[in-house]
Amino acid sequence: MLFLISPAKSLDYESPISAELPHTLPVFKKQPLELIEVLREKSPQQISELMSISDKLAALNVGRYEAFSARFTAKNSRQAVLAFNGDVYEGLNAASLKPRELDWAQEHVVILSGLYGVLRPLDLLQPYRLEMGTRLENAKGSNLYQFWGTQIADYLNERGDAQAERIVVNLASQEYFKAVDLKTLKAPVVECVFEDFKGGKYKIISFHAKRARGLMVRWAVQHKARKVADLRKFDLEGYALAEQASTPGKLVFRRKLQD
């Protein structure tokens, strides 16, 4: 199985990490550079309007685009799973995983990215901001979905050949999963949904759902989940499978938080 997750807007390049932690290079090498060249042509004001971000954030990212290098070093990059710093990654808590667990994650977890296309957990990441839904005109079209085309699905197909069970577990947001061309993808997709009881009914609460996606990845890594049946046992932080609400293609996990 391959587990798909989204990246995070927030980045952490300050927390100390072990110099002995292994690293790999991103799979797609030319494509990020092509996109960086497009982004470098834009002013801070244009970036602000394109991404609907503040002038301060726009200026920060214009600086990042200028500093982006074809060469990854210990000074300009760090492992993706430790660089991203959002709700999903707090649930995953990769910094506390053991080396052998990180090795397993490297073989089974894929981070979707607007700039890099796909990232393995230990792939080096230079700081950037480019959400998949950004309408960035490029040589292949008017947005990033057209830029990536079938490339991400093709990559997942290649990775699927090495898996015990050819299944894609979608733990990414709709914005990012849309970049996977389903007509090209050979593997069946299983979606995991996390709901909390609030206001008299179960519903998806964004903050909790994002964290739960990270928890699911962590659970899968620590239990070496290889089949969909394994995922049904997920039970972290009070979640449990809701059998009646689930289908073969969608596993629904629910919990009731104490008031």
> What's residue 20's pLDDT?
84
Q: Domain for residue 47, yes or no?
A: no
Task: Compute the average pLDDT of residues 17-22.
Answer: 87
Phi-psi region of 117 (alpha: psi -120 to 50; beta: other; left: phi over 0): left
Task: Compute the average pLDDT of residues 179-190.
Answer: 97
CA–CA distance, 53 with 68 (Å, rounded to integer): 20
Q: Which of 120-124, 128-132, 182-186, 196-200 has the lowest mean pLDDT?
A: 196-200
For residue 165, what pLDDT band results from cuts at 50, 70 and 90?
confident
**Secondary structure of 17-75 as H, E, C letters:** CCCCCCCECCCCCHHHHHHHHHHHCCCHHHHHHHHCCCHHHHHHHHHHHHHCCCCCCCC
Q: Domain for residue 37, yes or no?
A: no
For residue 258, what pLDDT band results from cuts at 50, 70 and 90?
low
- Total domains, the chain: 1
Sign of CA dihedral 49, 53, 55, 60: negative
Q: Domain for residue 223, yes or no?
A: yes
**Alpha-carbon separation of residue 121 from 15, 41, 83, 137, 163 (angstroms):** 17, 30, 10, 28, 17
Q: Is residue 211 within 8 Å of residue 177, measured between CB atoms?
A: no
Q: Domain for residue 11, yes or no?
A: yes
User: Is a pLDDT exceeding 70 seen at residue 14?
Assistant: yes
> What's residue 257's pLDDT?
76
> What's residue 224's pLDDT?
95
Q: Domain for residue 65, yes or no?
A: no
Give residue 205's domain range. Answer: 2-28+77-255
The mean predicted confidence, pLDDT, of the chain is 95
Task: Compute the average pLDDT of residues 95-107.
Answer: 95
Q: Domain for residue 89, yes or no?
A: yes
Q: Domain for residue 241, yes or no?
A: yes
User: Is a pLDDT exceeding 90 seen at residue 164?
Assistant: no
What is the per-residue pLDDT across 186-241, written as a single tens digit (0 to 9) for each?
Answer: 999 999 999 999 989 999 999 999 999 999 999 999 999 989 999 999 999 999 99
Q: Domain for residue 236, yes or no?
A: yes
Task: Compute the average pLDDT of residues 115-130.
Answer: 98
